[in-house]
Structure 1
């Protein structure tokens, strides 16, 4: 049967948040088996328990030294910024004007956008990421190109056209009316096609007038299945600017809340500098935060307080934030997230880090029950992880005495080289070169 098979190895997935459920939050089988039928999880558990039940004709791929994880989930990334990753030397607002806006102007050409989208998605898969929440540009062509490539690979991807009607170059601005019309057309063309979903995408509050934010809220009301994707409290200068632009709002978060943009499918990137009142608003509206540590450190934005978000029970996932972020790898992002919490005088448990990259991301995207773990019936997006992918990893892994230690080594030293293979609904979509 197409997209069917069994994969035997060191199977690990999460059923809850480790910071709440502790050791009950995950299931691990040293000799485990993932059985996939027609692209969905049929059964997962101890290999010796499941093997007798497999159809004789079903192929079993046995990689006893590899981990089998759910596919990684990137909750915030900009595909048009792929070519400008590692642009030198500025903080957020100057960085946007110096690098980002000129690069994004090229995406009015759908052929060019398609070329970058193809590279971008292959890079995600090479790094084990099977789902992402993705910024396009202000051009509808950028979203059409992205979705066409994602659809061909049968990936679960969420993306949207940037809405931006002020404080940006004229060649990148739209209007409240045109952004509404363009977004509406894209929603009707792509929302729910295959595994694709749409995100209403005002860039951030400073580049949208109140009229445009109202149009974004109108789209959310008219199409309740779509997402809201934007930025929040990334940089102190940005926050001060928002206060000047929206004097009637009590906070940056309140700008979005007053506009009707908070909710269970609203994802706000960064959230580095949040007050308790803002956290309460995010928690009460079931909004999510995409934690982007490599970007926050690269652009000098600050160190997000994960314990604050945990205290308020706010949904959190990991985002690479390419191209402010410096790596497509969620392993590198986990390492950076650990360093950020260390700088705050706290530690990030390796189980929690891996949860944020899998089931935590699914929770932020309101996709628990579809992706994020190996629950029966879930879409079978998964990755094979080689813990001896480099000489250093091989040496270090030999000395790991516990699963926790092995995961921390992977989270700290791992990168794209650890991804032996990536599967989307049971179909091989990336295999590491020999």
Structure 2
């Protein structure tokens, strides 16, 4: 017997990239809308007055007059093993890795420890309205098994991979080109495209993988279909100098990955702050994407991502919280910091463009737009209810809003996890605010 439900609320979702069609044509907004879901898939979306009469008599109707219903957020770069070391004080990237990250990741050799963190991490994502994420594990195979097991239990659409790291890291976190290849292969065959799960080949970043290991990573990408590549690129100027010293034959940082056949339509490179025109061109040409991680870039003093340059080169961009270098699981807060980064670059970030980057844009960067990222009929019913009265300040500010653009912008500046009333996965409540 099919399960039919309908939610009545204000509804907003993007239907296209604002850069291509203009902001006004990139979204649909229904001040009094209806979302109809059957067996976890969206059946219809539109004005409530048009759709209410079409509902079957057995449809369960849920009224949410004070809520704004949105697609679930998509986080294109985050480290689940760094959940507990978020807000660790006072370092830039390379020292931060050595002093905080690597000692924490050592603990993930213990699968029970990894399971505990994975469960809390996924709960935190749902609490913040994030329903899909591209996630780093650790070098330990068990860390990825623990993550996938937890995500599978909740039927989440998630992407994860075992870190590949065979040099320039503590010995207790190193694998080898061969063990990294074999363990990745075993994880791919066990988990890739099992239900809503996907696998990402995950070199930590170029300095911690030898050319032999990067070659093995490229080999995996050729051996299996629809795999992701997930790594870091040009986050920190000292990192970039280090890469040039380690790979003197490379034209630039991206060329290290390019030489090992790691650029693809499902390759996502976190940060991409210090890029040249040739790097932007190759990212665009190969369909690769950048994860824009503003809270992390500011926290670690890495630099200001040039969103306008990425747009001019037609590079796919999604938003990343990059916890734990990033300082919040909240996509609203991440978008607020993205706005400030673009301001410092001398540009404005249109609210609809920001919302697109956190939803449909992220899905397009991950090649998942047929499944998630908006609320089109036939897509999966992963969505969020925003409480427009979540705090007194938010309530007063939104009461003054005179457009949906103004509402989104106010949420970018003022909202956090308190504004998430409920998060739904395939039409079932996965998180409800107490």
TM-score category, normalised to shorter length? over 0.9
Contact persistence 1:3–1:427 (CA under 8 A): no
Deviation at 1:19, TM superposition (A): 2.6
> How large is the RMSD of aligned CA atoms in angstroms?
0.8
Whole-angstrom CA distance in 2 between matches of 1:52 and 1:379: 23
**Secondary structure of the corresponding residue to residue 317 of structure 2:** strand
Once the two structures are TM-superposed, the CA of residue 240 in structure 1 deviates from its matched residue by 0.3
Matched, 1:355 2:356: yes
Asked whether the equivalents of residues 29 and 404 of structure 2 are also in contact (C-alpha less than 8 Å), the reply is no
Structure 2 partner of 1:174 = 175
2:17 corresponds in structure 1 to 17
Q: Between Structure 1 and Structure 2, how many residues are aligned? A: 433
Give 3-state SS (helix, strand or coil) of 1:303's partner: coil
Post-superposition offset of 1:115: 0.2
Cα distance between partner residues in 1 of 2:20 and 2:311: 9
Deviations 1:281-332 (A, max 9, x none): 0000000000000000000000001000000000000000000000000000
More divergent stretch after superposition (52-61 vs 355-364): 52-61
1:203-238 deviation line (CA, Å, top 9, x unaligned): 000000010000001111011211000000000000
1:104 corresponding residue in structure 2: 105
Shift of 1:2: 6.1
User: Residues of 1 paired with 2:227 and 2:115: CA distance?
Assistant: 23
Q: Aligned partners of 2:98 and 2:366: how far apart in 1?
A: 29
Q: Is the 8 A contact 1:204 1:230 kept in 2?
A: yes
Alignment of 1:213-224 (within 5 A): 213-224=214-225
Structure 1 equivalent of residue 255 of structure 2: 254
> How far is the alpha carbon of 1:375 from its aligned partner?
1.5
Change beyond 3 A, Cα 1:256–1:107: same
Number of the residue aligned with 2:8: 8
- Unpaired runs of 5+ residues, structure 1, are none
Mark the CA change 1:304 to 1:3 in structure 2 (over 3 Å): closer, same or farther. farther
Residues 1-150 of structure 1: pairs in structure 2 closer than 5 A: 4-22=4-22, 23-150=24-151
Shift of 1:48: 1.0
Looking at structure 2, the residues matched to 202 and 156 of structure 1 have their Cα atoms a distance apart, in angstroms, of 22
Deviations 1:156-207 (A, max 9, x none): 0000000000000000000000000000000000011110000000000000
Q: Is the 8 A contact 1:74 1:132 kept in 2?
A: yes
The answer on whether the counterparts of 1:11 and 1:30 sit within 8 Å (CA) in structure 2 is yes
Partner of 1:318: 319
- 1:206 corresponds to: 207
Deviations 1:90-142 (A, max 9, x none): 00000000000000000000000000000000000000000000000000000
| TM-score, normalised via structure 2 length | 0.99
Tell me, in whole angstroms, the C-alpha distance in 2 between the residues paired with 1:111 and 1:400: 48
TM superposition outliers: structure 1 runs of 4+ over 3 Å: 1-4
Asked if 1:421 is matched to 2:422, the reply is yes
Instruction: Give, in whole Å, the separation in 2 of the partners of 1:152 and 1:49.
Output: 37
Give distance in 2, aligned partners of 1:209 and 1:313: 31
Distance 2:227 2:345 in 1: 35
Give the Cα–Cα distance (whole angstroms) in 2 for the partners of residues 118 and 18 of structure 1: 35
1:134 is paired with a residue whose SS is strand
Please give the alpha-carbon distance, in whole angstroms, between the structure 1 residues aligned to 2:51 and 2:89. 52
1:381·1:424 contact (CA, 8 Å) conserved in 2?
A: yes
Return the offset for 1:387.
1.8
Partners of 2:2 and 2:107 lie apart in 1 by: 39
**Structure 1 counterpart of 2:299:** 298
Aligned to 2:159: 158
Unaligned residue ranges in structure 2 (runs of 5+): none
| C-alpha contact (below 8 Å) 1:4/1:426 kept by paired residues | no
1:3 to partner: Cα distance: 5.5
Provide the TM-score with structure 1 as the length reference: 0.99
Confirm or deny: 8 A CA contact 2:164 2:202 kept in the other structure: yes
* Contact 1:40 1:426 (8 Å CA) reproduced: yes
Asked if the contact 1:3–1:425 (Cα under 8 Å) also holds between the matched residues in 2, the reply is no
**Could you say which residue in structure 1 is the equivalent of 2:333?**
332
* C-alpha spacing 1:8/1:24, structure 2 compared with 1 (3 Å): same
Question: Equivalents in 1 of 2:329, 2:118: separation in Å?
Answer: 14
Q: CA deviation at 1:405?
A: 1.0
* C-alpha contact (below 8 Å) 1:106/1:112 kept by paired residues: yes
CA distance in 2, matches of 1:145, 1:63: 36
Deviation at 1:65, TM superposition (A): 2.1
Deviations 1:56-92 (A, max 9, x none): 1111111122111000000000000000000000000
How much does 1:369 deviate?
A: 0.8
TM-fit CA distance, 1:345: 1.1
Instruction: Find the counterpart in structure 2 of residue 382 from structure 1.
Output: 383
